[in-house]
Structure 1
């Protein structure tokens, strides 16, 4: 069986948000599964000395325009959150907590977080608010809040960032297909072509 696609994402990344709406369907068209991997871009920024796009002179205005443009193109609801970007550690840790129990549930959580955050309805740095996103998925809010504050989940989130950097990840979304990396939502057509080529080679 073909290897899963690896999908590295950051909850504060608008481009990750857009990729999250497409990556599973794209993979399924080529008989692949997706391994969702939440990490903090802050881990990469420590190495690259970069800053969030929306806090970088010249880039900030363009990114706001680009995200709104992509949302219109895709027919998605999108609102730049006040004070963006938020660190989002409760969301990040919550993903890893759910992922350890049920990866499919964690993916549903991630999509719901993206949808709520980029609709201006969720503060991803508020553990209680993020817990409410997990509630419909069967997570008891008090258990969620306790988990994301635990040393174990803090260490897991930190390790996820370190592992991403070790893999050469410096941006989000970051997609790896059979060892080949692709950076950015706009690389999804290239990802699709790479998958098609791999399928053709396997059946030749």
Structure 2
């Protein structure tokens, strides 16, 4: 079996949200699986010297226009959240808490958190909001709010997020979404068509 495709994203990234709606279906078309890896762009920006897009003159204004245009193009549900750029620490920790033993549930939670933030416009920064969404999404699978709340303060879970973000930097990840296919890096939602062709042809 080929290695999974690595999908790096930050919950603050609307482009990561749009990629999350497509990445698994795209990979499955080529017989591949996807490992979802939330990271913290704030920590990565300390390495690159960048600022969040919304805090950059001209680029911030362009982003707010562009993401609405992408939503109209793709038909994706979208509401620009007042809390943007959101602090994705709690959301990312919750996903990693589930990733190793329950990877599909971790993806389900990640999708639910992304939907709450960019489709419904909710602030998913607070830990209690993350726990509420997790309990609602995964409660039928035996995962409740109390368990999620406890996990968010678990030192092992905290360390996992730091480690994943550090490893992402070592692999050259500098933005969201960032997809790595067999060592080949692709940055941006608009590179997914290129990823599709790369998988179909074996690269060029």
TM-score tier, shorter chain, comes to: over 0.9
Cα distance in 1, alignment partners of residues 121 and 7 from structure 2? 25
- Per the alignment, in what secondary structure is the counterpart of residue 78 of structure 1? coil
- Per the alignment, in what secondary structure is the counterpart of residue 100 of structure 2? helix
Shift of 1:83: 2.9
**TM-score using structure 1 length:** 0.94
- Per the alignment, in what secondary structure is the counterpart of residue 202 of structure 2? helix
Counterpart selection for 2:188 from 178, 181, 184: 184
Shift of 1:120: 4.0
Shift of 1:133: 1.3
CA deviations 1:74-118 (Å, max 9, x no partner) are 111111111310112110100001113300100011111111101
The answer to whether the 8 Å contact 1:123/1:130 transfers is: no
**Which residue of 1 is the match for residue 12 of structure 2?**
12
**Which residue of 1 is the match for residue 170 of structure 2?**
166
Are 1:144 and 2:126 an aligned pair? no
CA deviations 1:118-172 (Å, max 9, x no partner) are 1344322111111111113132101101111222211111111101001110011
**Which residue of 1 is the match for residue 128 of structure 2?**
128
Cα distance in 2, alignment partners of residues 46 and 67 from structure 1? 25
Question: How many equivalent residue pairs?
Answer: 200
Cα distance in 2, alignment partners of residues 132 and 143 from structure 1? 11
Cα distance in 1, alignment partners of residues 80 and 189 from structure 2? 17
**TM-score using structure 2 length:** 0.94
**Which residue of 2 is the match for residue 97 of structure 1?**
97
Cα distance in 2, alignment partners of residues 131 and 119 from structure 1? 18
The answer to whether the 8 Å contact 1:89/1:124 transfers is: no
Q: Which moved more, 1:133-142 or 1:65-74?
A: 133-142
**Which residue of 1 is the match for residue 85 of structure 2?**
85
The answer to whether the 8 Å contact 2:116/2:124 transfers is: no
Root mean square deviation of aligned Cα: 1.4
Cα distance in 2, alignment partners of residues 23 and 195 from structure 1? 12
Are 1:175 and 2:179 an aligned pair? yes
Unaligned runs of 5+ in 2: none
The answer to whether the 8 Å contact 2:9/2:16 transfers is: yes
Cα distance in 1, alignment partners of residues 144 and 172 from structure 2? 36
Cα distance in 1, alignment partners of residues 76 and 176 from structure 2? 19
| TM superposition outliers: structure 1 runs of 4+ over 3 Å | none
The answer to whether the 8 Å contact 2:5/2:35 transfers is: yes
Unaligned runs of 5+ in 1: none
